[in-house]
Amino acid sequence: MRYRDFGKTGVKISEVGFGGWGIGGIPWGRRNDERSKQALNVALDLGVNFFDTAYVYGNGHSEELVGEVLRQRRVRKKVFIATKIPPYGFRILRSECNFNNVFPRQWIRKTTERSLRKLKTDYLDLQQFHTWLPDWFCEDDWLEEVDKMKKEGKIRWFGISIRDYDPDSAVEVVRSGMIDSVQVIYNIFEQSPSRRLFKECLKRGVAVIARSPLNEGSLSGSFNSKTKFPENDWRHNYFKGRLLREICKRTSNLMGFLGEEASTLPQLALKFCLSHSAVSTVIPGMRHPDHVRRNVAVVSKHYLASETLQSLKRHAWTSFV
């Protein structure tokens, strides 16, 4: 495993982190807790030290699994745990949402303490807002509550997870110095964070957590025109029809990049993300031990050549969103 600076925190984290959404079950179909714990254990064995989760991942179930395994392995001080604060009442956000209605101070504390219990830990390395709107960066009352929890030793650093496909919404808050990290969708199809956001993060020493590096599995190379997901898997209604056909066409076009630099499509996808100097870690979802082994194997190889990265720019695609 190779490790990178987590922004300006002084902490080194694994290039491949553990994305904990899938192991929570809801809304990823039937869950298998024993297999999920096996995946977590394999990740630890292979040097993964960054674990990203959230309360909404199965109503705390993902947090519980992560906490259980880390406690059993007695490795708390060797790992970096990141979780997230859901919007108050799990409300659907709109552009006119008032910040204090979405993240009231008492909710910030309540959900943080709940996550501490679920994760069976005394402190969080990183707490994050699970969504962000650009108008909110002018709000700073929450900083006082965050500072209190830092002084109490309940959290070490604070960041935000950006709304889907809106990386520029975080540019101003990164410039403000209020946060230590941003979590953002970044992959071969969705390259827009590299235009403005990553430049600001590098300038300010803000860590970048690249989520959905395999674009919810579509960059795994396992989709075809007949792919179907269980009805209780959110992708059942998302990847179908015209979108599924277009995804298959575009992933097929990427096969020409496979060779010495990357032998599989997932390798190409993960190495694409890790080739950007702003990225601190990628967090693919890993519900099976084999997923962990394949994803972690990427870090033993060189990053993509500049010529390859330049060619992959032509494959950016966000019109399906």
Q: What is the CATH number of the domain that holds 305?
A: 3.20.20.100
Q: Calculate the alpha carbon distances from 283 to 14, 81, 140, 165, 278 in Å.
A: 10, 12, 29, 17, 15
- Domain extent, residue 112, equals 3-315
Q: Per mean pLDDT, which range of 98-112, 131-145, 284-298 is the poorest?
A: 131-145
Residue 40 lies inside a defined structural domain of this protein? yes
Spatial distance between the Cα atoms of 16 and 68, rounded to a whole number of angstroms: 21
CB of 186 closer than 8 Å to CB of 273: yes
Each residue of 149-199: pLDDT tens digit? 999 999 999 999 997 888 999 999 999 999 999 999 999 999 999 999 999
User: What pLDDT was estimated at residue 233?
Assistant: 80
> What span, in angstroms and rounded, lies between the C-alpha atoms of 159 and 128?
5
- Give the integer Cα–Cα distance in Å for 40 and 18: 8
Instruction: Decide if pLDDT at 96 tops 70.
Output: no
* Top-ranked range on mean pLDDT: pick from 21-25, 125-129, 298-302: 125-129
**pLDDT tens digits along 13-42:** 999 999 999 999 877 777 899 999 999 999
User: ω into residue 167 within 30 of 0, thus cis?
Assistant: no
Helix (H, G, I), strand (E, B) or coil at 89: helix
Strand partners, 128: 84, 159
> How many distinct structural domains can be found in the chain?
1
Distance CA 119, CA 84 (A): 12
Q: Can you tell me whether residue 35 is helix, strand or coil?
A: helix
Q: How far apart are CA 292 and CA 42, in angstroms?
A: 7
pLDDT band for 301, please (50, 70, 90 cuts). Answer: low
In a domain, 321, yes or no: no
Within 13 Å, how many C-alpha atoms sit on residue 72's CB side?
A: 11
157 found inside a domain: yes
What pLDDT does 135 receive? 82
Q: Is residue 232 part of a domain?
A: yes
Please, what is the Cα angle at 291 between 287 and 297, to 5 degrees? Answer: 145
With a pLDDT cut of 70, the percent of the chain lying above it is 96
Sequence-distant (6+) residues with CB within 8 A of 177 are 204
Position 320 in a domain: no
The answer to whether residue 182 sits within a structural domain is yes
Any domain includes 179: yes
210 belongs to a structural domain: yes
